[in-house]
Amino acid sequence: MAAFCRELQVTVRRAEVQQAQLAAAINKSAGAVSNLLNGALKRPPAWRDVADIVAYCARRGGAEEPAVGAEVEKWRKRHGQLVADHARGAGIRQTENAQPYRVGPWELFQAARYTWPNCLALLIDLDVSQHLGRVRQVASESDPGGFRAGLRGLCQDVIDRFPARVRVVDRMTRCTVGRAMVQVLCLAALLDVMDDLAENAANAENNGKQKQTQNWRAEYEAEGVLRDFMQSLTVLPEDHANAADRELLMRLWERWANVTAGMTLPRPTVTASRFLDLLKPLAEYEPELWFHAGIPDRAPSAAGRALAGLSASFTVSLQPPLLGAAQILSRRASQELDHSLIESSQDHARVTVPSLGMGYIAPAVRTLIVREGDPVHDDTWWRSHPERAPLSTWLATHFTGPQAVCRPLLVLGHPGIGKSLLTRVLMARLPASDFLPVRVELRSVDADASILEQITQSIAVQLDEEGTWPDVVEGAAGRLPVVLLDGLDELMQAGELGHWDYVEHVQAFQEREAAAGRPLAVVITSRTVVMDRCRTPSGCTAIYLEPFDTERRDRWLAVWNMVNRNYFADHGLAELTPAALEPYRELAFQPLLLLLLALYDAEENDLARVRTSEISGADLYEQLLLGFVKRQVRKHHPRPRFPEQVEREAEEEMARLGVVALAMFNRGRQSVGGTDVARDARALLGTDWGWSDDRAFGRFFFIHEAQAVRRGRASKAYEFLHATFSEYLVARSIWKELEHLTATGDGTRLYALLSFALLTERAQVLERLDDLVAAAAPERRRDTCRRLESLLRSCIDDRAPDTEIPYEPRQLTPLLRLAYYSANVTLLHVLLSRETYASDLLDTTDVPGAWRRLAGLWESQLDQTLWSDLPQYLMAERAVVDRKSGPRQDILLAWARDLPQGEEMVRLPAWTLSSHTLGEASADVVARRALFSCRADADLLALGIASGRLADGHGVPRDGQYRAALDQLLQLLMADDVHSMADDDLETLYRACLRHLGMSAFLGEQRTLLRSLLLRALERDQRRLPHPVVLSLAHALERSGLSHPDLDSEDGRIHDRLIHRRTGL
């Protein structure tokens, strides 16, 4: 090894390259380079490092690319010999003149399903191997010990031949045989430990220590079967290409089953230790085995800026040179790191935006295998899963295994989180010697085209000429194509078709390509929130990109300040600090928004002037958005503008942005098309202000454009980079309209804005409105409240608001619009006043009746979720108020969010409706009325009446056991609770309620009522429970001390139906 490193050191010196310079060029520390060149290593250096050093030195010496390749190939042979010598020293017997593995491209697709017989057959080329006779002999061996020894010998042959054979394979073969070798090592480790157990047992018996042996073996048998290994080792193998081989593999598997039948295999920890002993020497030569074994932390480091270490994670494969279109695509991919994080524009032409190679910071990720029904669109669900290994390590594991070609990899996250940046980094970091990355911007290809057509269209754009996918793959022989489909969410947002089955089409495309001998890996990026509109096949791998944490944000800031150090000095500006970003903490952890905040601050250090303690959330967004808009106004006018002109035009621009935000809010969507915005602007502002032109949206850094191409025409949708921008602009627009109402009394446009969605649908809108309310003068708030009271009374008195404004973001019935409008006006009034009496708000003396009618309107028109949300903001507490005419029943409406933390919102009412309002009604009639209304709370009331009658009279003591009985009965009667309950839990609940029948607390009529309720519940749930369980429960009701139900009664008929329906009589 010392001689090899010394020759490499001579090569570096001849090229006149300094070690520090070399370290920077190959993304290694100066110490690591020094140790390599001085031979201070315990094992051969990674081939990737050697190849990078040789290529860099050759280019520094002026060599052309063909000469560089020849020099690298010469050193590859030297390195291979070094590794072989080291392997022999580690105890691996090398075979001379080993032939490459005979593995077809399709084997990579199938390898994920191979079990140990398939893997063994693949690694010894079963159909042509000189060991075929030995395999037949092993398969027919009748003695268990002989079978184990013969099988272990075959494994050792494979292990010994592996280093020399794997050295000359291409990428796809390397992935296949690496996965197979791990299976064989598992088998060899298990056989070794089984032999050790047998030998130790024999020795113990010979020494007369049978009891000690039994105890010793029990220690190993305590943890049961070796589940992790045996799950893959004892499964019947899949079909093999050769029928004769298949028959032979069956014989091997049958012999294994016979040998292991009735055995207790050694515990996992023992076999795992032996497995590592076998793996380590091979991994010295083939580090990717660590990834196949699921131990990526032992593999070469994949750390580094912008995933710099990803390339070092892969063993460089022997490949023919790239040809034609593949060569062009690979060259373009390698140059991606030199491009800017975002495209430059006049807004930041003087500022240096870091390159992708400098400015990309890998985020934290969460990963999982998607199963059917998983809510991958739900951020809360994702956060319940732990963060995984560093992104670079995880990606290296994914792309070295067969799972990459079986199903697509989904990359999910919020807008601006870095999904597209990740695809660009992957293009550059996947080594060209082993991979061919092809990036497809889905926004730029035909949305209705097939997957193959979309890839072909993207290639044509990148090459500026026509080309076919098979031709491109043929020009990259031996390399694994990686197709990066960027922006599935854009197809779903902007396209007219749903694309709900797009991921399934991608998986089918992978299967077809594998069958054609062209396996490929596919990566699909999408916003998380739209994935509920797209079906994800079970078994797909998904990763969720997290926002920056403090450490990653600060690393990014260090890069930003470094590349702009001269700019800051020339313009007398301070560097951007974490403290300056603290008021915008929610935004600064999103990578793209962090860059945009940095660009904003680079003008005049505006962010550093904000003090969190002195400013509200609404003021933060006002300063940021209005400040940017003012700059836009100044830049788009060649002549200087007077301050009042800038203020006026900036306010007009903010009003136009408010129309965009309202267009999304009132349609209940996160994005909106330019045509819709233009139509809304004409209705609200009198002109479309250019919104029908897509270029109008490009003026604003915080608006993201989604695009899908259909039949040659681009369909576009727009959304704010962060939801808080939209929510603030909605609140601002409503507040401006309230100012207009207060000044003029004209509520026409307010009705238009507030009659299509409920403000509680977006909690941040109400929070920003609360900030604006807090800053308003008390007198102004009182004046606005008086105006709102007038509007509310008018709509209640059936004086419909003026609807001449042709603003209709979606079609709703007049009654539903009235419900939205009246609820929003009430919310705004209480938000402004903090508390008010319903008698004052509604100007009525019949408070119960007026409030019941208003709340009834909301309940009848709003969906269950919106109706349930209202009490979270409006607290309606009954009160008795002293008036001039005497005490009067009233309702105090208060802003529920003002309640102290932990204070109960529900209190005993100061008054209740008189019983005469129910008429001559029994409890049963009240229950029927409650059920008639078909409401969840009314259902609970009805069931409470039924279960409460169990305690009527008899002086029943209400101890803990009695209350538990009532609680369980009520749970059983609630259909929604039962529907979400597992079948086993449902049976357990029935059994518990039956046990309560024997309680002395339930006597006579109460027990009969309990039985009646249980019979009706059992009839409802009979199809949820197994046949014997229903019969058992029905008979148990008879045996519980009750007389057999009268067959002429309703209970008797239910009992009869349960018995006869289940027995088929």
Mean pLDDT of the chain: 78
- Residue 100 domain flag: no
DSSP assignment of 579-591, as one string? HHHGGGHHHHTSH
CA distances from 691 to 11, 626, 633, 685, 771 (A): 63, 19, 17, 12, 30
77/151 same-domain check: no
Same domain, 649 and 624: yes
Model pTM?
0.68
Say yes or no: 335 and 463 in one domain: yes
Count of the separate structural domains present in the chain: 7
In percent, the amount of the chain with pLDDT more than 70 equals 73
Which tokens hold the place of 849? 């009746």
Last residue of a domain, one of 881, 910, 939: 910
Average pLDDT over residues 374-380: 91
| Whether the Cβ atoms of residue 477 and residue 512 lie closer than 8 Å to each other | no
Could you tell me which residues are beta bridge partners of residue 304?
none
Query: Are β-strands 365-369 and 541-545 bridged in parallel, bridged antiparallel, or unpaired?
Result: antiparallel
Q: Is residue 785 domain-shared with residue 699, that is, in the same domain?
A: no
The pLDDT value recorded for residue 735 is 96
pLDDT digits (tens, 9 = 90+) for 31-69: 888 888 888 777 778 777 787 888 888 888 777 766 776
Q: What does the H/E/C string look like for 661-695?
A: HHHHHHHCCCCECHHHHHHHHHHHHCCCCCCCCHH
**Least confidently predicted of 409-418, 511-520, 632-641, 989-998:** 632-641
Which sign, positive or negative, has the C-alpha torsion 324, 330, 333, 334? negative
d(C-alpha 594, C-alpha 590), whole Å: 6
**C-alpha dihedral sign at 543, 544, 547, 551:** negative
Q: Percent of the chain, pLDDT > 90? A: 24
More confident position, 293 or 128? 293
- Point out the domain boundary residue: 706, 721, 736: 721
**Is residue 351 predicted with pLDDT exceeding 70?**
yes
**What span, in angstroms and rounded, lies between the C-alpha atoms of 492 and 524?**
13
pLDDT band at 285 (very low <50, low <70, confident <90, very high): confident
Write out the DSSP string of 332-371. Answer: HHHTGGGSBSS---GGGTTS-PPBHHHH--PPPEEEEE--
How far is residue 332's CA from residue 243's CA, in Å, rounded to a whole number? 45
pLDDT of residue 1004: 56
User: Would 925 be classed as within a structural domain?
Assistant: no
Give the domain range for residue 686: 619-721
Residues 41 and 145 in one domain: no
Averaging pLDDT over each range in 87-91, 159-163, 506-510, which range is the top one? 506-510
Q: How many CA atoms lie within 13 Å of 301's alpha carbon, on the beta-carbon side? A: 10
pLDDT one-digit tens code per residue, 674-707 = 788 888 888 888 886 666 555 555 566 567 666 6
| CA 84 vs CA 81, 94, 880: distances in Å | 5, 7, 94
Distance CA 966, CA 949 (A): 11
Res 226: pLDDT: 35
Residues 800 and 894 in one domain: yes
Q: Are strands 835-837 and 886-895 parallel, antiparallel or unpaired?
A: antiparallel
For 246-310, give the DSSP string. HHHHHHHHHHHHHHHTT--PPPHHHHHHHHHHHHHHHHHH-TTHHHHTT-GGGSSP--SGGGGGG
Tell how far CA 75 is from the center of its chain. 44
- Classify residue 305: in a domain, yes or no: no
Widest CA span of the chain, in angstroms? 111
C-alpha to C-alpha distance for 818 and 800, rounded to whole angstroms: 8
Residue 898: pLDDT band with limits 50, 70, 90: confident
Q: Does residue 577 surpass a pLDDT of 80?
A: yes
Task: Report which listed range, 2-16, 223-237, 905-919, is most confident.
Answer: 2-16
- Give residue 498's pLDDT: 63
Please state which of the ranges 401-410, 630-639, 749-758, 838-847 shows the lowest mean pLDDT. Answer: 630-639
Query: Rounded mean pLDDT of 435-450?
Result: 90
Give the confidence band of 639 by pLDDT, cuts at 50, 70, 90: low
End-to-end CA distance of the chain: 87
- Catalogue the long-range contacts made by 10-15 (C-beta closer than 8 Å, 24 or more residues apart): 11/53, 11/54, 11/57, 12/37, 12/53, 12/57, 14/57, 14/61, 15/56, 15/57, 15/58, 15/60, 15/61
Residue 815 lies in a domain: yes
**Quick check: 1040 and 1011 in contact, CB under 8 A?**
yes
Nearest to 541 by CA among 655, 669, 399, 351: 399
Res 1042: pLDDT = 45
Strand pairing of 713-720 and 703-710? antiparallel
Q: Which residue has the higher pLDDT, 114 or 802?
A: 114
**Residue 489 scores a pLDDT above 70:** yes
Pairing of strands 435-441, 703-710: unpaired
Q: Is residue 917 part of a domain?
A: no
**DSSP-derived 3-state class of residue 238:** coil
Return the bridge partners of 439, or none.
Answer: 484
Residues 1016-1038 have a mean pLDDT of 80
What is the pLDDT, as a whole number, of residue 252? Answer: 59
Q: Looking at the structure, tell me whether residues 734 and 763 fall in a common domain.
A: yes
Helix (H, G, I), strand (E, B) or coil at 529: helix
Domain C-terminal end among 842, 876, 910: 910
Is residue 440 situated within a structural domain? yes
Same domain, 427 and 504: yes
> Which secondary-structure segment (H or E) carries 791?
helix 778-796
> Residue 702 in contact with residue 596, Cβ under 8 Å?
yes
Indicate if the alpha-carbon torsion angle 927, 931, 932, 933 is positive or negative.
positive
Whether residue 435 has pLDDT greater than 70: yes
- Alpha-carbon gap, residue 821 to 174, rounded angstroms: 66
Q: What is the pLDDT of residue 676?
A: 87
What is the CATH classification number for the domain harbouring 64? 1.10.260
Question: What pLDDT is attached to residue 1010?
Answer: 72
User: Please, what sign has the CA dihedral across residues 373, 378, 384, 386?
Assistant: positive
Q: What digits encode the pLDDT tens for the residues 926-984?
A: 566 555 655 555 655 565 555 555 544 434 444 556 667 767 777 776 655 566 677 77
**pLDDT recorded at residue 837:** 92
Q: What is the CATH number of the domain that holds 339?
A: 3.40.50.300
**221 vs 998: which has the higher pLDDT:** 998
Residues 682 and 796 in one domain: no
Packing angle between helix 847-861 and helix 814-833, nearest 10 degrees?
120
- Same domain for 608 and 624, yes or no, is no
User: Residue 686 has which token pair?
Assistant: 């009198």
pLDDT digits (tens, 9 = 90+) for 828-858: 999 999 999 999 999 888 888 888 889 889 9
Query: Residue 446 gets which letter from DSSP?
Result: B
Grade residue 1041 by pLDDT with cuts at 50, 70 and 90. Answer: very low
Tokens of 398: 């994914």
CB atoms within 10 A of CB 515: 11
Is residue 522 within 8 A of residue 510, CB to CB? The reply is yes
Residue 174 inside a domain? The answer is: yes
261/273 Cα distance (integer angstroms) = 24
Tokens of 749: 């446009």
CA dihedral 1041, 1046, 1050, 1055 (to 10 degrees): 60
pLDDT at 73 over 90: no
pLDDT of residue 957: 44
pLDDT at 800 over 70: no
Residue 915 pLDDT greater than 70, yes or no? no
What is the torsion angle, in degrees rounded to the nearest 10, for the CA atoms of residue 78, residue 79, residue 80 and residue 82?
90
Task: Give the C-alpha separation, 303 to 916, whole Å.
Answer: 78
Q: Most confidently modeled of 68-82, 873-887, 902-916? A: 873-887
Tell me the backbone φ, ψ of residue 504, rounded to 5 degrees.
-65, -40
Q: Which of 123-127, 434-438, 822-826, 1035-1039 has the lowest mean pLDDT?
A: 123-127
Is the pLDDT score of 521 beyond 90?
yes
Q: What is the pLDDT of residue 398?
A: 93
Judge if 889 and 981 occupy the same domain.
Answer: no
Pair 467, 530 in one domain: yes
Nearest Cα residue to 476 out of 325, 294, 636: 325
Highest mean pLDDT among 402-406, 495-499, 1045-1049: 402-406
